[in-house]
Amino acid sequence: MMGAAVLTLGFSSCSSDFLDTVSTSALSEDQISKDPSGMQGILNGLHNMMYQYDWGDTGAHFFGAGHRSVGVQLDIMGGDMINTMPAYFMSVYRYQDHNNPYGDLNWRVWDMYYTIIAHANLLIDKAEANTSLPKDQKDNLLGQGYAFRAMSYHMLIQCFGKRYVKGDANANLGVPLRLDKDNIKPQARATVAEVYKQIDSDMAKALEHLKNAPVIDSKNQISYVAALGLAARIDLCKSDWASAAKHAEEAINNATATNITLAKGKDLLDGCNNWANSEWIWAYKQASDQDNSYFSFYADYSYNFEGYNSGFRFAVNRDIYDKMDKTDVRRNWWVCVEKKETTIDGKKVVRLDTVPNIPKDAYSEYFPKNGKWEKTGQSIKFKSQANNNSMGDLLIMRLAELYYIKAEAEARMGEEVKARETLTKIMVTRQENFKTEASGQELIDQIMDNKRIDLWMEGQRFFDIKRLGIIINRAKASNITKHLTGDAQQTAIKRNTGDNVANVPTTVEDKNWQFAIPYDEIKVNPGLIKQNPL
């Protein structure tokens, strides 16, 4: 099987800084079984993959590295990132890559998460079998190992399987379930229901172990709070509103007890690159003396590093941006050029404002003087530490998401008073004067719109539209229908209609929701791995 057939047993330590290069010695499996440091080395290696997995190819220069970069690609498919001009990742944006057996994104997802699973299997096997490990250490190793496996299968089933439908048999094909570290033989795909049964089992074990383990006060580990957050994400994808609300609420309460609190006002404008931010739950801190250069999330997706971001042309969907109150601090995550009415030769003319608020430290090719950038809302949410290095801490999960999960779940269960209270608690940290009396679908929309704003480009939107069966139509986004004019508007329409959207799902059962199984996986598992409809 791709990615998972070879287990690397020598890892870099990630004890404090994510690029700390103090290495754990390569050990045999027998040594790992007896030596706790070997098991800790496997766990460190799992965390290393989360931020620096590069698929061993130069293409990662443009794609980025690790879990965060996968999340950006998924968000590009989600409908809240609008493109109107030539840019990188158009095959992903147009749903032309992930459904191709020779595609790039589907291969990267399959390869990365099955590799994580293979190493998680080894960790679980060795930790479960070791009878001499101190209980605290064993709970920590197993809790994180099971959480990694659950998270990885959740990523895989959301991409390669059909959406989970509550109350249905969910007998459609999912992904192969590999739980034995020694079994690398060809294996058929389990059903969606079977995969979720395993995910639920792994999450239950993860939560049990981590609840009993010593409190993890470092954000570069999967803490009990982070595991609860993973469980809440999974609950959403099963429409299990009661469990989602329960897990999110417990995560919020435990986060508060460990001094993780919602960021407020200008603290949200830190470039999303600082793990000291009060609401970050799971993140990786970059060592001060090391720079990943062009193999970095910030080389591809920040606004200020002089890297590959010159071809990253995506605007925030103005349908959600324009709903924000003028005092909402999150408006500062984008540069938006507004239409203005002026008079030329005695005639009223509508044109774009020519003096946008571009940051002084922006990379000149990201905001070129020729105006070839996404003027309806280009991102400045993510910032590297300086123009000449791509340094920055990497976010995996933050507290804000858990408030939105809790509010959505409460609203969908009809607990609207609770939902309004939950939404208000987070929104007053973004918009100080926020109040809401919304109910019914209006309340759900208000929750989801603010989640879309808050978690923009953080990797959750594609899963939300897939689970909810939301059909996107970017050509109708107000970026194009309202905020562009003339040739720019016509070009934007062409780029978001016709053949360019032929593969974008038009129904909840559309085959293009599912990623194609990579050809190499079909080739090495002939007759066992059935391909998704192409």
Instruction: For 327-365, write each residue's pLDDT tens digit.
Output: 999 999 999 987 666 666 676 655 565 556 899 999 999
Confidence at residue 343, expressed as pLDDT on a 0 to 100 scale: 66
Domain presence at residue 221: yes
pTM metric for this prediction: 0.92
- How many Å apart are CA 451 and CA 193, to the nearest integer? 28
The domain of 49 spans 34-307+397-525
Domain presence at residue 168: yes
Confidence at residue 62, expressed as pLDDT on a 0 to 100 scale: 73
> Strand pairing partners for 82?
315
Q: Which helix (H) or strand (E) holds 396?
A: strand 394-398
Domain presence at residue 339: no
Domain presence at residue 3: no
Other beta carbons within 10 Å of 290:
14
- How many Å apart are CA 10 and CA 6, to the nearest integer? 12
Confidence at residue 353, expressed as pLDDT on a 0 to 100 scale: 59
Confidence at residue 341, expressed as pLDDT on a 0 to 100 scale: 64
Mean pLDDT by 10 residues, the chain (534 residues): 40 34 50 78 94 73 83 97 96 97 95 96 95 95 98 99 98 96 83 99 99 91 98 98 99 95 97 95 84 78 90 96 97 87 64 71 92 94 89 95 99 99 99 98 99 98 98 98 94 98 98 97 88 96
- How many Å apart are CA 64 and CA 443, to the nearest integer? 36
Contact status, residue 190 vs residue 530, Cβ threshold 8 Å: no
Confidence at residue 23, expressed as pLDDT on a 0 to 100 scale: 37
Q: Is the dihedral of CA 210, 211, 212, 218 positive or negative?
A: positive
* Domain of residue 476, CATH code: 1.25.40.390
For residue 174, give both structure tokens. Answer: 């999912």
Q: Which helix (H) or strand (E) holds 283?
A: strand 280-284
Domain presence at residue 392: no
**φ/ψ (deg, to 5) at 396:** -110, -40
Confidence at residue 61, expressed as pLDDT on a 0 to 100 scale: 60
What is the DSSP track for 78-124? TTSEE--SS-TTHHHHTT-STTSTT-SHHHHHHHHHHHHHHHHHHHH
For residue 283, give both structure tokens. Answer: 């993140």
> What letter does residue 327 receive in the DSSP assignment?
T
Domain presence at residue 214: yes
> What is each CA distance from 47 to 107, 283, 401, in whole angstroms?
20, 10, 21
Which residue spans within 79-132 are E strands per DSSP? Answer: 81-82
Domain presence at residue 403: yes
Domain presence at residue 534: no
Torsion of Cα atoms, 209 then 213 then 218 then 224, to 10°: 40
Confidence at residue 292, expressed as pLDDT on a 0 to 100 scale: 66
Confidence at residue 1, expressed as pLDDT on a 0 to 100 scale: 46
What's the structural domain count of the chain?
Answer: 1
